[in-house]
Amino acid sequence: MIMRSIQRKNEINKILKFSSIESLNADLSAALRRLKEHLPEEDSLLVIRGITALLTRDSLQSSNFSSNKLENDIRAVLTINELEYEAYELYIRVIIEKASQYNSEFVRASEQLVSSDEQNFELLKRRMFEDSSLNIRSWHEDHDEVSVFQRLLTELGYPLEIHGVDGKFGPETEEALIIFQHRNELTPNGILDSIAFKKMIENPVRITDSELAEMQREYRRRYSERESDERRRSQPWWRVFIPGNRDVSVPSLNEQGEAIGDGALTNVRKKSSGVDLETVSPMLKEYLKILDNVAREKNKTVVITSGGRTWAQQASIMYSNYKRKGGVGSERANNYLRRLYSRYPRIDDIVNIYLRRDLSKDAKVEQARQIMEESWPVTGHGAGRSIDIRLGVDDVLLETQDLATVDILDEGDHFHVTIKSLTPGGKSGMRTFRG
């Protein structure tokens, strides 16, 4: 009876896993439709056919799936059709994100990776342990090797809450590794070398259940119940208490532009004490140190105007920007939000809420918050990987791209900066958005 019950439970789990995969497949189809709607009519059919040809069952269900390769292949499709990739980048990013999520779910559900087989897992773990030249960085191509140390991280209490053990060394895995490096007094660079891997096996510092429970209690003491609940849904709340946070304390500026309070960083400042840098991701905290070093070398001061955000804060900031662009009745304001947030679901619904005259500001923000929480992916400010920076430090930001993979968007009145990886090698340069 017990064996039959276990088998039944496994069958139910597989059904649930594959139903999640079908849902992601529908999301991917919807992302393709959104891109098609914004392509020139005469080119849309050929472009969508070209991209669809890349999204075959074999490629999406392979344990060797690569987001970078898919991006390059889609770029080639647009080039062949004489279209600028950058003009459609936001829509294409969603397609790549949905394809990657589909692949992660399928690989886990079908147990393709070495980490799912105990004997092969132990064999590969031993080989990696004996490799003194081990050097695994972001987007490492050997997915089995990545899955081995992903599994070790989760077994040591370092959660991979979104993608899990999927063999892909993306931002979530890099952040978990950085936290492990901090807690084990290793260099927090997001690179798995032989020293870090051996530490995972020989007397590592774990995150225990009791530690997590205490962190959660402290978190609830620090934030109101509603804010605490909302932050926990959009951010790994436990990362607030990981060692290393205090290394990036940033002074604020007063009305006279003078620094208030002590901080470990000398050339990075917060516009005000309300800028949240405490709950941003471990990867962004390490990038702030890089940013500070480059700013010091160039004798510049970098001012951060916005950091981590809850959904309520995001909805409020969006509404303020909407008002600043003209507010209710302004087509400019409507188009500004639709263009800037075009990759996000239900942005038209949010615009329609903001343009209503019968709702108060608080009611508009609350309804927008509910839509975001229900349908928006956790990225950017919400994921703690983005900051807004005051203009005038272009040279500083561009130089940091030689030291890390950083996306920089010039929005006209500020820079929107997103850390992708502490390993350099991604595309460089600065994109521009004008609303």
pLDDT tens, position by position, 305-327:
999 888 888 999 999 999 999 98
Does residue 137 sit in the same domain as residue 106?
no
Is residue 194 domain-shared with residue 82, that is, in the same domain? no
Interior/surface letters 249-258, b for 16+ CB within 10 angstroms, e for the rest: ebbbbeeeee
| In a domain? residue 93 | yes
- 284 and 181 in one domain? no
The DSSP element (H or E) to which 306 belongs, if any, is strand 302-306
Q: How far, in Å, CA of 322 to CA of 336, rounded?
A: 8
Q: Is residue 213 part of a domain?
A: no
Structure tokens at 362: 């608080």
Residue, of 269 and 15, whose pLDDT is higher: 269
CA 228 to chain centre: 20
In a 13 Å sphere around the CA of 367, the CA atoms on its Cβ side amount to 18
Q: Which domain covers residue 408, as residue numbers?
A: 242-309+381-432
Per-residue pLDDT reduced to its tens digit, 204-255: 999 888 877 777 677 666 665 555 555 544 455 445 555 444 456 676 766 6
Residue that has been written with the tokens 């070093």 in this structure: 293
Considering only residues 433 and 294, tell me which one the structure prediction assigns the higher pLDDT: 294
The predicted pLDDT at position 297 comes to 97
Q: Do residue 177 and residue 135 come from a single domain?
A: yes
Cβ-based neighbours of 61, under 8 Å, separated by 6 or more: 103, 106, 107, 110
The answer to whether residue 281 is domain-embedded is yes
Pair (23, 103) in one structural domain:
yes
What does the pLDDT read at residue 116?
86
Q: Are strands 302-306 and 268-270 parallel, antiparallel or unpaired?
A: parallel
**Residues 324, 302: one domain?**
no
CB pairs under 8 A, 24+ apart, for 343-351?
A: 343/90, 343/91, 343/93, 343/94, 344/372, 344/375, 344/376, 344/377, 345/375, 345/376, 346/371, 346/375, 350/315, 350/318, 351/322
pLDDT at 173: 94
Number of domains in the chain: 4
As a whole number of angstroms, the distance between CA 156 and CA 184 comes to: 12
Please indicate, yes or no, whether residues 267 and 385 belong to a single structural domain of this protein.
yes
Average pLDDT over residues 27-54: 90
Mean pLDDT value across residues 296-300: 96
CA 178/CA 191 separation, integer angstroms: 8
Which pLDDT band holds residue 7 (cuts at 50, 70, 90)? very low
- 16 and 105, same domain (yes or no): yes
Asked whether residue 212 is domain-assigned, the answer is: no
Same domain for 187 and 321? no
Q: How confident is the model at residue 78 (pLDDT cuts 50, 70, 90)?
A: very high
Query: What whole-number distance in Å separates Cα of residue 303 and Cα of residue 346?
Result: 32
Cβ(129)–Cβ(198) under 8 Å? yes
Q: In this structure, is residue 214 part of a structural domain?
A: no
- CA atoms within 13 A of residue 167's CA, in its CB half-sphere: 28
